[in-house]
Amino acid sequence: MKPVYLIGYWLLALALISAILISMDYAFSQALLISLVFCPCALAVEYMMPRTKTLLDRIYLSLAVLTASILMLLIVHHLLWSPVMRTEVYQLIDLSPVLINPAFLGLLMTMLALGDVQWRKWLDRKYADKPRPITFISDRKAVTLDAENIAYIESNDTEVRVVTLDGQSYRNKTGISQWENLLGEGFVRIHRAYLVRRAAITSISADSLKIGDTSLPISRKYREEMKNIEIGE
């Protein structure tokens, strides 16, 4: 059921963007096709932004996505209004300046990406009591684990380790911030290099916690937040 809800979010997003374009005198089919440009761009922002490590990386990513979206809009608009498509239904309409306005495009794609993130978090809470299979690549092989079986994620800059409750370890290239978005509120960040499952925590001290016999450091940035964590919650 969860994947259906995720698809539903993007269908609703397409419908809303199409409605905006229809108000600019685009035909429904034209508006729908142009709206499709925004989805991959918003997803690129959502999944790539957490993997950036510096402000400069975020700026480069934003510029790349904005440039790609403007180019895609220009290409789609040109194809729609090619001589073959210039019929009574598809009348020639100049590309609206707002559609190539970087501020408008940035705001729209940010809203789409943030909306998807919040929607996923809500679904994570709604289905928290049900097994959530997570599939990722480790050593060039697909691995599927229930999120509830993951004890913690450890980042080593170039890769992460996914450690399970029974002590198994899997290497993966996905950034820890993206893992944080993927796993949701059942996990908590305790360090730039560690993301742990709340329910797996067995003890907490001022600057470290334990998951079974494994001790993990808590950085100064997260110590205040960890004071409010109840063990096994």
Residue 34's pLDDT band (boundaries 50, 70, 90)?
confident
Q: What is the pLDDT of residues 129-154, one digit of tens each?
A: 566 788 999 988 999 998 889 999 99
The pTM of this model reads 0.53
Q: What is the pLDDT of residues 159-174, one digit of tens each?
A: 999 999 998 999 999 9
Encode the chain in three state secondary structure.
CHHHHHHHHHHHHHHHHHHHHHCCCCCHHHHHHHHCCHHHHHHHHHHHHHHCCCHHHHHHHHHHHHHHHHHHHHHHHHHHCCHHHCCCCCCCCCCCHHHHCHHHHHHHHHHHHHHHHHHHHHHHHHCCCCCCEEEEEECCEEEEEEHHHEEEEEECCCCEEEEECCCCEEEECCCHHHHHHHHHHHEEEEECCEEEEHHHCCEECCCEEEECCEEEECCHHHHHHHCCCCCCC
Give the angle 166-167-172 at the CA atoms, nearest 5°. Answer: 115
Highest averaged pLDDT of the listed ranges 35-39, 92-96, 191-195: 191-195
User: Do residues 44 and 106 make contact, with C-beta atoms less than 8 angstroms apart?
Assistant: no
Report residue 160 as tokens.
């992460």
Report residue 197 as tokens.
């499952």
| Structural domains of the chain, with CATH | 2-126 (no CATH), 134-226 (2.40.50.1020)
